[in-house]
Structure 1
Amino acid sequence: MGLLGKSKEKCDACNKPFEDHDELVDHQKRIHPPTKPCTKCSGLMAWERQHTQAYGNLIYVCRECDFIGEMWRYYP
């Protein structure tokens, strides 16, 4: 079901626009999962948000070794 006259929703991580909220949720679960294995240790990396005045960052940070994995900049 579409958004019926509303602006398209965008993925927080990659700014990809979506016509349907369900497609956005599916995209976020498949492409940007909430946790993923750390490439440096056996821990799990999870999303963290960092905000500045001009933009925000979504980053994967390992909970055990603090390794920073992928990072995306987005503009609110």
Structure 2
Amino acid sequence: MPEIYEPIDVNEYGEVDLLAMVEDEIILALPVVPVHESEHCEVSDADMVFGKLPPEAEKPNPFAALASLKRK
């Protein structure tokens, strides 16, 4: 069977569980994260930060104190 086809599970009578198959397809069609239209967004494009964070937004490394102990 070519890989583009998925096998269909059947019960002991050779019947397809249509409810389970439709449920699986609906779950797979849902987005991973909720999304909304950009015109309904309360955050402006200027407030959004993509890529590297500015230096003031970066948190200090909690393991920085261990670096001095490692050098000893």
* TM-score (structure 1 length as normaliser): 0.23
Return the structure number with greater helix share: 2
Relative contact order, CA 8 A, sep 6+: which one is greater? 1
Return the structure number with greater strand share: 1
> Which protein shows a greater Rg?
2
